[in-house]
């Protein structure tokens, strides 16, 4: 069944904050985003939701390291079902910063999936969390 053959469009609805936080707590991969002079950059990372913030590791000499020291970062997760044309998405807008060893025990951060010395710890503290359901029509 293709999109063009469906009779009923899917229904959009706002997720409650509790629903957003539950998805953030139960997923492992999302997309971190920042703006440079050419616009937004969106990159997947494996993360952990801990103490009300998004935590992940990266390489200290990456572009992510440079841009994840900003009041204007975002983090996004979603899931969708092509057959039912449904899904959900959660967007976290907030402040990204580098986290020192003394601030946070190392075992509260996930190990990075990717190889390389991903010794830099990043935290995004939300200013705003929002999400939407797209329910089958």
Which residues are near a second copy by CB under 8 A? 3-4, 6, 9-12, 28-29, 31, 33-35, 38-44, 46, 70-74, 76, 78, 80, 82, 85-87, 89, 91, 93, 110-116, 127, 134, 137
> How many beta carbons lie within 10 A of that of residue 73, not counting itself?
25
| Smallest separation (angstroms) from a second copy to the CB of 26 | 12
Nearer to a second copy, 44 or 52 (CB): 44
Q: Which CA distances in Å does 14 have to 77, 82, 117, 130?
A: 15, 20, 39, 8
| Smallest separation (angstroms) from a second copy to the CB of 82 | 6
* Apex 32 CA angle, 98 and 121, nearest 5: 25
| Smallest separation (angstroms) from a second copy to the CB of 101 | 18
CA distance 47 to 121: 11
């Amino acid at each position: 069944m293709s999109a063009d053959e469906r009779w009923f469009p899917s229904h959009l609805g706002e997720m409650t904050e509790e629903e957003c936080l539950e998805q953030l707590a139960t997923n492992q991969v999302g997309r971190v985003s920042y703006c440079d002079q050419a616009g937004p950059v969106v990159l997947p990372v494996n993360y952990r939701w801990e103490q009300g913030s998004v935590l992940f590791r990266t390489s200290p000499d990456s572009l992510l390291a440079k841009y994840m020291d900003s009041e204007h970062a975002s983090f996004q997760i979603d899931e969708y079902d092509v057959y039912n044309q449904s899904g959900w998405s959660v967007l976290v807008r907030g402040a990204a910063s580098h986290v020192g060893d003394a601030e946070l025990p190392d075992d509260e951060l996930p190990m990075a999936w990717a190889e390389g010395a991903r010794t830099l710890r990043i935290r995004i503290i939300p200013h705003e969390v929002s999400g939407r359901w797209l329910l089958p029509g």
